[in-house]
Amino acid sequence: MDHTALSLIELGAVFFALGVLGRLAGKIGMSPIPLYLLGGLAFGQGGLVPLPDIGGFTHLASEIGVVLLLLLLGLEYSAAELFTGLKRSWMAGLLDIVLNAAPGAAVALLLGWGPIGAIVMAGVTYISSSGIIAKVLGDLGRLGNRETPVVLSILVFEDLAMALYLPILTALLGGVSFFGGLEAVGISLLVITVVLVIALRYGRYVSAIVDSDDREVFLLKVLGAALLVAGLASAMQVSAAVGAFLLGIAVSGSTAHNATRLLEPLRDLFAAVFFVVFGLNTSPASIPPVLGWAVLLAVVTTLTKVATGWWAARRQGVGKLGRARAGAALVARGEFSIVIAGLAVSAGAVVGELAALATAYVLLMAVFGPITARVVEPLARGLQRRRGHGHEPATSSVS
């Protein structure tokens, strides 16, 4: 068989297997991300069936996957929402950073991965998965709950923090000097500010440029613009992902809505490839040695996220059950933890175990997060009943 035929067969097999895994995930009501990672581990070096012929395609496809992940994240928000979200949640957002970045950084330093490893792991444990969380909130019928805006505004804060964090990380991973790093941060801050101002004031013009009534033309223009902006951002050391995120924010209104609908299947496809490639590059044998650390991180960062949500919800006057729900909802980590680890690994600036730890951690958190969100309510009610017995009568209800 020639090379093309072999590549097509392997690629087809991978996609088909992912489809089956995705269906399985849907059946048991969990995020497919951990299964994609497991799929990648199985296909990769040292796995069950190594696939050497699809490297060229999957490499580029996984890059596009990251661009699309961030572009659609940006499309979710309007600039005005970002600003109000930021105003509402900056204190909770800062607490979120401190509590949840610290465990990752601490473990990385303990394992001797140096300051860059610490910054990478800090990002991995910090960022919640807005994709998983938004879906879980919808599935559990909690969109009307009073604590839900608190959860969402923390997610908005995190996504904006990503827009600052990623360029800093890319600069550091590129091994630039301290002043070079400062310069990159300065440039990225400037670019982000300019884009936010453009998005707020002239968002409709940006939308008008990419908009079209013809689906085909629209798809090509949106995708083209995203890749162009991502590429240019990358050339300016601002990270391709952030470029795509900012473009997503600048596009607004019905254009954003249509673009989301059109790009969603593409994102799902390319993001799946991204997770698989990440798994491919991690040898399954490297996971058991770091599994203990992953479990420890999972336990600690579950508690710290719950604490963050609890505190933020209490500030908005939400009751105890609602606070517990807000905390538990934030636990899931997913796509962006892998994006961060993926950036670090592909830059070759960190040790291989970091990828293994990040994989194991996200495997745990992507599965554990939605479960926590589900079981927190019965659990909290049980606790409340036991503790409230005797000295604190339950609040009486009228109806």
Partner 1 sequence: MNVEVTPLPGIGVRKDFATRNGRRIGVVTHRDGQIELIVSKSDDPDACLASLPLTADEAGALANLLGAPQLVAQLTEEHREVPGIITKQLPIKPNSPFDGRTLGDTAMRTRTGVSVVAVMRAGQVHPSPAPDFTFTAGDVLVAVGTSEGLEGALKILKNG
Helix, strand or coil, per DSSP, at residue 44: coil
262 is a contact residue toward partner 1 (CB under 8 A): no
The interface mask with partner 1, positions 126-165, x = CB under 8 A, is ----x---x---x--xxxxxxxxx--xx-xx---------
**Residues 358-387 contacting partner 1, CB under 8 A:** 377
Size of the residue set binding partner 1 (CB under 8 A): 34
Single out the residue of 30, 318, 329, 340 in contact with partner 1 (rule: CB under 8 A).
318
Tokens of 6: 């072999």
Q: How far is the CB of 78 from partner 1 (least distance, A)?
A: 8
Looking at the Cβ atoms of 257 and 387, the one nearer to partner 1 is: 257
Site for partner 1 in 199-258 (CB under 8 A): 257
Please name which of 338, 340, 323, 334 lies closest in space to residue 380, comparing C-alpha atoms: 323
Q: Closest CB to partner 1 among 81 and 183?
A: 81
Q: Which is nearer to partner 1, 120 or 154 (CB)?
A: 154
Tell me which residue has tokens 């301290």.
178
d(CA 291, CA 288): 5
The answer to whether 393 contacts partner 1 (rule: CB under 8 A) is no
Q: Where do the H-state alpha helices sit in 319-392? A: 320-329, 335-347, 352-388
| Whether the Cβ atoms of residue 229 and residue 247 lie closer than 8 Å to each other | yes
Q: Do residues 334 and 155 touch, judged by C-beta distance below 8 A?
A: no
Judged by DSSP in three states, 2 sits in: coil
Q: Among candidates 3, 108, 10, 91, which has minimal Cα distance to 312? A: 91
DSSP labels for 277-323? Answer: HHHHTS-GGGHHHHHHHHHHHHHHHHHHHHHHHHHHHHHTT--HHHH
How far is 253 from 91, CA to CA, in rounded Å?
29
What are the distances in angstroms from CA 89 to CA 156, 235, 396? Answer: 9, 33, 32
Segment contacting partner 1 (CB under 8 A): 94-102, 115-123, 284-292, 390-398? 390-398
- Judged by CB, which is closer to partner 1: 142, or 333? 142
Q: How far is the CB of 347 from partner 1 (least distance, A)?
A: 30
| Binding span for partner 1 by CB under 8 A among 52-60, 239-247, 313-321, 364-372 | 313-321
321 lies in the site for partner 1, by CB under 8 A: yes
Contacting residues toward partner 1, per CB under 8 A: 76-77, 81-82, 84-85, 130, 134, 138, 141-149, 152-153, 155-156, 257, 318-319, 321-322, 325, 377, 394-395, 397-399
